[in-house]
Structure 1
Amino acid sequence: MAGLSLKAKNIAPLSVLVVIQLIAVTMVNRHTFDTSLLDILKDTGGTMLAISVLAGWLSHLMPADLKNALVFLRWRNVLPGHRFIQLAEKDTRIDIDLFKTRVVDYESLKSDNKSQNSYWYREFYRPVTNQDEVVTTHKSYLLYRDAAAVSLISAVILVLAKLLIDMQMAQIGFDSVWVFAIAIIGFIVAARNAGQRMVTTAIAVSLTTIVTE
């Protein structure tokens, strides 16, 4: 039987990140911190299950390509694998001389961002996809990427709700949007760092595997 996907494993921590933002929104509107709000994090029943379902649903509303574009602020060649050579050259864990022997047509590929990702995926990522170091960084990338997307969607929903049904949303001010804005920026930075680390970790592990064989 196949194991859970990385996205499925991320549902619990993603739900916690959503809850933390909801607590922050509550604090912004009440102008006080109520410790009882933290009780939801201890809830293993219906509330956390509902939040988990909601978080999972929201994370699937935005296409993967758009989420990647959000993280790396690019419209084309958005993945860190599209620049794996440039990233590898900056990583002190990677033996550059050995790395260059592994990459066919190194210089020409370096200037071809479109081809870099498929080459990295085929030659470096796939052979070590199940290595713990690679799995950990990949999981982190997906978590923070999805968290950024969920926060952005939540901010849009909040703004639309305030504009369309302001009477029912009277207790929630527009200041709440700043909670999501700060979260989005933080998650984007974390996802970008994790994505780049995933790319260079796959290269480092792949080269180490070759040396030890």
Structure 2
Amino acid sequence: MAGLSLKAKNIAPLSVLVVIQLVAITMVNRHTFDTSLLDILKDTGGEMLAISVLAGWLSHLMPADLKNALVFLRWRNVLPGHRFIQLAEKDARIDIDLLKTRVADYESLKSDNKKQNSYWYREFYRPVTNQDEVASTHKSYLLYRDAAAVSLISAIILVLAKLLIDIQMAQIGFDSVWVFGIAIIGFIVAARNAGQRMVTTAIAVSLTTIVTE
């Protein structure tokens, strides 16, 4: 039986991040902190299950390409693998001379972002995808990328709800949007760092494997 995918493994921590934002929104509107609000994190069913399902659903509403664009603030060549050579040159773990001997047409590839990602995925990522160091950074990237997307969608839903059904949303102020805004920025930074780390870690592990062989 195949193991759980990285996205499936991220449902629980993603749900926790959603709960934390909901608690923050409650604090913003009540101006008090009630520790009982955190009791939901201890719930193994019911509310926590519902939040897990909701978080998983929201994370799939935005296409992967759009989520990647959100993280790296680019419309083209959005993945960190599109710039793996530039990232590798900044990583002290990577022997650049060894990398140059491994990568054919190093200089020409460096100026072709599209080919860089294909090359990195085929030659560096796929052979070591199951290595703990690589899988861990990939999991973190997916978690924070999806968290940023879920927070953005939640912020949009909140604004639309306030505009369309303000009477029912009277207890929730527009200030709540700032909670999502701060979360989005934090998740984007975390996802970007994790994504870049995933790329360079795959290269470092792959080159180390070659040396030891």
* TM-score relative to the length of structure 1: 1.00
Q: Deviations over 1:152-184 (max 9, x none)?
A: 000000000000000000000000000000000
Can you list the C-alpha shifts for 1:57-91, whole angstroms capped at 9, x where unaligned?
00000000000000000000000000000000000
Query: d(CA) in 2 for partners of 1:75 and 1:22?
Result: 30
* Superposed displacement of residue 6, structure 1: 0.1
Show CA shifts across 1:123-170 (max 9, x none): 000000000000000000000000000000000000000000000000
Identity of matched residues, %:
94
1:105: Cα distance to partner? Answer: 0.1
Question: What is the RMSD computed on CA atoms of the aligned residues?
Answer: 0.3
Provide the secondary structure at the position in 2 that maps to 1:108.
helix
Gaps of 5+ in 2: none
80-89 or 35-44, which moves further after superposition? 35-44
**In structure 2, C-alpha distance between the alignment counterparts of 1:30 and 1:145, rounded to whole Å:** 29
Matched, 1:50 2:33: no
Q: Matched residues in 1 for 2:57 and 2:6: separation?
A: 15
Alpha-carbon distance between aligned partners in 2 of 1:183 and 1:45, rounded to the nearest angstrom: 26
| 1:191 and 2:187 are equivalent in the alignment | no
For residue 204 of structure 1, what is the aligned residue in structure 2?
Answer: 204
1:114 offset after TM fit, Å? Answer: 1.1
CA-CA distance at 1:13 after TM superposition: 0.1
**How many residues of Structure 1 are paired with residues of Structure 2 in the alignment?**
213
Deviation at 1:45, TM superposition (A): 1.3
Q: Taking structure 2 as the reference length, what is the TM-score of the superposition?
A: 1.00
Question: SS where residue 23 of structure 1 aligns?
Answer: helix
The list of structure 1 runs, each at least 4 consecutive aligned residues, that deviate by more than 2 angstroms after superposition, is none
1:159 match:
159
